[in-house]
Amino acid sequence: MSPLKVVASSLRVGVLQFPGSNCDADCVDALRRHFQIEAVLVWHQETKLPKLDAVIIPGGFSFGDYLRSGALAAHAPVMQEVKKFAEKGGAVLGICNGFQILVESKILPGMLLHNLSQTFICKTVHLKDPAGNILTMPMAHGEGRFYVDKKALEVLNEEGLIAYQYCDLKGDVNEASNPNGAAANIAGLYSRNKKVLGMMPHPERATDVAMGGSKDGLVVLRNFIDRI
């Protein structure tokens, strides 16, 4: 199905809100505008999730990025519910700070360290998915250097859990196309059942040409919705 086609949907997606979240409204807007999906905001202190088909953990600077990015949010009451939701096979998408929260919650493996350059990087990047498609969208983070030890990295490769890798325009995955020093150029990662996706770049910021020329974020969101 074309990612650009507007379809009526009965799906209900929860978008989490932490103090410091700043991409929550963008996620809600992308789901409503492009997929006609009802999106509801869920506050971080909730101890029970409403009836949902999927959860999105948006980007931002939850709890001021104190301690480590995502570390304090990982202990929020709502995340205990998201853990249970994911364990039951629920679909979860973590974007940027959402990805950091997913790894700090141990829902996804690894850790996101300070970028190799020690700087906050905000720019357009190209991503390659396992099928070889090249997608273009922005990244904006200071702690996005994905790290796992060599053994764990081998497991991720063997099990096909690497969702997106930073690449160049031609699709080459190499050191020059790695903006933050991430292990194996990893920009996004699946859980074992492929229901949980964490990624540093922002698909919700690439849903309209007016946002910078790329609509490739819709492809990511379409794929996520199809896995619900």
Residues near 39 by beta carbon (within 8 Å), at least 6 away in sequence: 12, 13, 14, 15, 27, 28, 31, 32, 56
Is position 75 annotated as part of the catalytic site? no
Task: Tell the smallest beta-carbon distance from residue 96 to another protein (Å).
Answer: 18
Separation between Cα atoms, residue 123 and residue 140, nearest integer Å: 7
| Span near another protein by CB under 8 A; candidates 14-22, 41-49, 84-92, 107-115 | 107-115
Smallest CA-to-CA distance from 8 within 26, 25, 24, 31 is with 31
Give the DSSP letter of residue 105. T
**Between 148 and 167, whose beta carbon lies closer to another protein?**
148
Q: Between 2 and 118, name the residue whose CB sits nearer to another protein.
A: 118
How many CB atoms neighbour CB 72 within 10 A? 20
Examine the residue annotation and report whether 126 is marked as an active-site residue of this protein. Answer: no
Does 96 bind another protein (CB under 8 A)? Our answer is no
Q: Which of 75, 130, 172, 176 binds another protein (CB under 8 A)?
A: 75
- Please state the separation of Cα 13 from the chain's center in Å: 15
By the rule CB under 8 A, 111 interacts with another protein:
yes
Identified catalytic residue from 81, 96, 126, 143: 96
Q: Does 71 bind another protein (CB under 8 A)?
A: yes
Return the number of the residue (36 or 157) whose C-beta is nearest another protein. 157
Residue 44 appears among annotated catalytic residues: no
The SS3 call for residue 113 is strand
- Binding of residue 36 to another protein (CB under 8 A): no
Task: Give the C-alpha separation, 69 to 111, whole Å.
Answer: 10
Nearest to 169 by CA among 161, 157, 177: 177
User: Which residue from 114, 124, 194, 228 is in contact with another protein, where contact means CB under 8 A?
Assistant: 114
Contact predicate 116/145, CB 8 Å: yes
Contacting residue, 6, 7, 40, 67, with another protein by CB under 8 A = 67
Stretch that binds another protein, among 20-28, 145-153, 158-166, 184-192 (CB under 8 A): 145-153
Per the CB < 8 A criterion, the answer to whether 97 and 85 are in contact is no
Applying CB under 8 A, the residues found at the interface with another protein are 67-68, 71, 75, 103-104, 109-111, 113-114, 116-118, 147-149, 181
Catalytic residue positions? 96, 202, 204
